[in-house]
Amino acid sequence: MLKKSNLQKAMMRASINRAFHALSRSLDGPLMIAFAVLAAISLIVVFSASGALTFDRALGQARNFGVALIVMWIIANIPPQTLMRFAIPVYLVGLGLLISVALFGEVRNGARRWLSLGFATVQPSEMMKIGMPLLLAWYFHRKEEGLNIKDYAIAAVILIVPTLLVMRQPDLGTAILIFSAGFFVIFFAGLSWKLLITGGVIGLASLPFLWNFMHDYQRDRILTLLDPSNDPLGAGYHIIQSTIAIGSGGVLGKGWQHGSQAQLDFIPERSTDFILAVFGEEFGLVGVLLLFALYLIIIGRGLMIAINAPTTFSRLLAGAVTLSFFTYAFVNIGMVTGILPVVGVPLPLMSYGGTAILSMCISFGMLMSISTHKQLVST
């Protein structure tokens, strides 16, 4: 009897283990740990940033993470070869929607970014953040023979058209993110250093011309970055208040729910784009360094996965997705600390908002898919 029940227990434990293994087989350990810690921090900070009076926002954010986790698991279970098949459809649908937005899009806050589908409004530029690296990785994967100028020219067209469409909405932040995601693929595919450097120089030289094409509010943001006191109640207000919040946090921070800048509503967009100001104020330099460490773990792990990836497609996709993650983090942190202009980019896996977390988790899912499916491909 005793033996039997022990055996049953052991069998049960084994089957639970097997089930857990089956579920987690497709997930990547280091990424999951970093993801879980970030999600926990995000919930804590979102609660504080929403005035610490109601759980509505924190619960909403928990739901965002829950949904995103499921999507991430599903994508992680799709082998990279299958992901590759999505490349063309996702890109083309995204492009089509972007064109539709330009033609019949809804205008909100002076920007034409949303498309009404009757039952819901979508922001097709979000889709392009995924579609762009997918398509370019697929494109370069096909060209396994040496690459020539013509290939790069075609890649450039694939890259530039959606970027310009998003820029015209106007949404400079998203345009930069879409462009960089695609650019990272081309970079990893082997764009020659000579071309890179000349391109960089031409880019810098063309800045004054770019200035002419900018919208007034975009110019304002850049001018404000150079001198926030220029416009203390307008665009400069964001930067002034967020730097005050972070600076006043000091090394150890003012404590959870004790940031005066955050709790008294001096930080605009405090649970979304400027959540780092709340975090920096309440948790100080120690908290910020922990956050940076988590980001570096994710980026390092992403690059490892890319290096170990078996196919060109998965290598390029993993590399681009990882660098995109870095770009998100860098642009947001730079903006909140006042070294980059204010562009609407959320802090990855921290800012409140379902769409941003979802698209981030799709990237994570793809990274995990690449990481866990390499044996299958290599044999």
**Which spans of this chain sit near other proteins (rule: CB under 8 A)?**
144-146, 184, 187-188, 190, 241, 243-251, 260-261, 264-266, 280-281, 284-285, 288-289, 292, 295-296, 299-300, 303, 306-307, 312, 315, 319, 323, 326, 330, 333-334, 337, 339, 378
- Contact yes or no for 261/277 (Cβ under 8 A): yes
- Whole-number minimum distance, CB 234 to other proteins, in Å? 14
- Contact yes or no for 42/62 (Cβ under 8 A): no
Helices 149-167 and 124-142: angle between axes, nearest 10 degrees: 180
**Burial status of residue 187 (CB atoms within 10 A of its CB: 0-12, 13-18, 19 or more):** middle
Cα–Cα dist 354/318, whole Å: 23
Which residue's CB is nearer to other proteins, number 94 or number 280? 280
Which residue's CB is nearer to other proteins, number 51 or number 354? 51
Tell which residue, 377, 184, 155, has the closest CA to residue 299.
184
Number of H helices, E strands in the chain: 16, 3
Write out the H or E segment, with its range, that includes residue 122: strand 121-122
Pairing of strands 106-108, 121-122: unpaired
Write out the H or E segment, with its range, that includes residue 111: strand 111-116
Classify residue 140 as left (phi > 0), alpha (psi -120 to 50) or beta: alpha
Which residue's CB is nearer to other proteins, number 5 or number 375? 375
- Contact yes or no for 214/176 (Cβ under 8 A): no
Which residue's CB is nearer to other proteins, number 124 or number 259? 259
Tell which residue, 338, 364, 378, has the closest CA to residue 28.
364
Which residue's CB is nearer to other proteins, number 190 or number 255? 190
Phi/psi of residue 108, nearest 5 degrees: -130, 135
Which residue's CB is nearer to other proteins, number 95 or number 329? 329
**Burial status of residue 184 (CB atoms within 10 A of its CB: 0-12, 13-18, 19 or more):** buried
Q: With H, G, I as helix, E, B as strand and everything else as coil, classify residue 106.
A: strand
Tell which residue, 131, 158, 164, has the closest CA to residue 317.
131
Q: Name the one residue in this structure whose structure tokens are 């988590």.
A: 294
